Amino acid sequence: LPGEGVPSAQKSSWATFLKSIASFSGDLSSLTAPPFILSPISLTEFPAYWCERPDLFAAIADAKTEKDRSIAVLKWFISTLKGQYTSRNEKLGSEKKPLNPVLGELFYGHWPDVNGRGQTNLVVEQVSHHPPITAYYICNPSKGLALQGHSAQKTSFSGGSIIVKQIGHAILAVDLPGGGKEEFLITLPRLRIDGLWYGSPYIELAETSYIQSSSGWLSTIEYKGKGYFSGRSHSFKAVLTPPGSSTAAKKYEGVWHETSKDLDTGETFTDVTTPKEEVTVGPLENMHDFESRKLWQHVARGIREGDYDAASREKSKIENEQRQRRRDEQAAGASWQLLHFEHIPSDPVYERLAKKFNGNPPTEDTYVFKHNHSQTPSVRSVPA
């Protein structure tokens, strides 16, 4: 039934929220939403979804050929989608509106070394507040793997759904045993937020995304919802093509939130029905004030405990403090300095790899991680 996921006291504010998004395009994070749809988690935590299957990430380094590495990257990528796009429904009951990070907000974490897979480290920094842009760096130094990317969103409203165009890309760099690097450009799918009318939003992926290797191998992934390929939600088809050819060397099909198979052999390709590994985060007492969980702790508690007045009071405190910072900077003629990333207007790796598959746009800006692999565990001790 329409509005059935909305608590009765919030039905009219949900209707007002829906009306405001219907006539709005741009940055959704700035709209005030009713309390039942608020998530206690900041968007800076989202990059952790890239590595909740650290074994599959590490396995990329163990693949021996260019083709096998491209297959391993595709397998890892598809296996991240369930966490990226359905985990809020599982944990919080529906997709929710994440906390809108402040400029300079930080999130650090790691996945421990188990059975020789190496430790994987995560560094996230909010590099823009308006529009929200999140930069991340994930590396497994002992396996010679580093993923660097940034994420922003452009939203519009169509046919009762929110359409989210993801802006940004990720580059995975793999150190090769004989020296040199192989690089993979990962583009991001388009999202549709459905179920708004019922007050229980969920994500469906749409259109096509690509993984282009510097070796020439290309994965083309097509996403469909209910009523297409298999009639099931969260369906995808992926095709792997060799350098300079459009004839598929491998084809995969399935649903990204459960299993998929290799269409030639019938064998299972991805299976995310087993538990994932959440990122390990240090204790709150050791955190810098700008680390996400410390910064938002009182707001998050208010949301979790249903004390929305406290949540909104605490949120206003953070926002006012931010406004004051910006005013002080302006008065001093200074601007905010990023801690871990440097903005560059065009990413040469993106340009080189996008050219190989006529990727659009031909160039994109990026945020380059300023330190190297081995520094990531120690960057936690950030200056005040």
Q: Which stretch binds ligand HCR (CB under 6 A): 89-97, 118-126, 224-232, 367-375?
A: 89-97
- Chain residues 1-60 in contact with ligand HCR, contact rule CB under 6 A: 28-29, 37, 46, 49
When the beta carbons of 23 and 358 are compared against ligand HCR, the nearer one is 23
Q: Give the contacts of 336 (CB within 8 A, at least 6 positions apart).
A: 103, 104, 325, 329
Of the pair 85, 217, the CB lying nearest ligand HCR is at 85
How many chain residues bind ligand HCR (CB under 6 A)?
19
| Element housing 42 (H / E) | strand 38-42
Q: How far is the CB of 246 from ligand HCR (least distance, A)?
A: 29
CB atoms under 10 Å from CB of 200, counted, come to 17
Distance in Å, CB of 335 to ligand HCR, minimum: 25
**Interface positions, 343-372, toward ligand HCR (CB under 6 A):** none
Place of tokens 């994965």: 219
Under 8 Å CB-to-CB from 275, ≥6 apart: which residues? none
Q: How many CB atoms lie within 10 A of CB 271?
A: 13
> Residue 147 and residue 368: Cα distance in Å, rounded?
11
Q: Which is nearer to ligand HCR, 79 or 153 (CB)?
A: 153
**C-beta closer to ligand HCR: residue 95 or 364:** 95
Q: Are 363 and 345 in contact (CB under 8 A)?
A: no
Q: Does the protein bind ligand HCR through residue 201 (CB under 6 A)?
A: yes
The answer to whether 39 touches 100, Cβ cutoff 8 Å, is: no
Q: How far apart are CA 21 and CA 32, in angstroms?
A: 10
> Which of 153, 161, 214, 260 lies at the binding interface for ligand HCR (CB under 6 A)?
153
**List 79, 84, 215, 260, residue binding ligand HCR (CB under 6 A):** 84
Q: Which residues bind ligand HCR (CB under 6 A)?
A: 28-29, 37, 46, 49, 84-85, 95-98, 151, 153, 164, 166, 191, 193, 201, 203
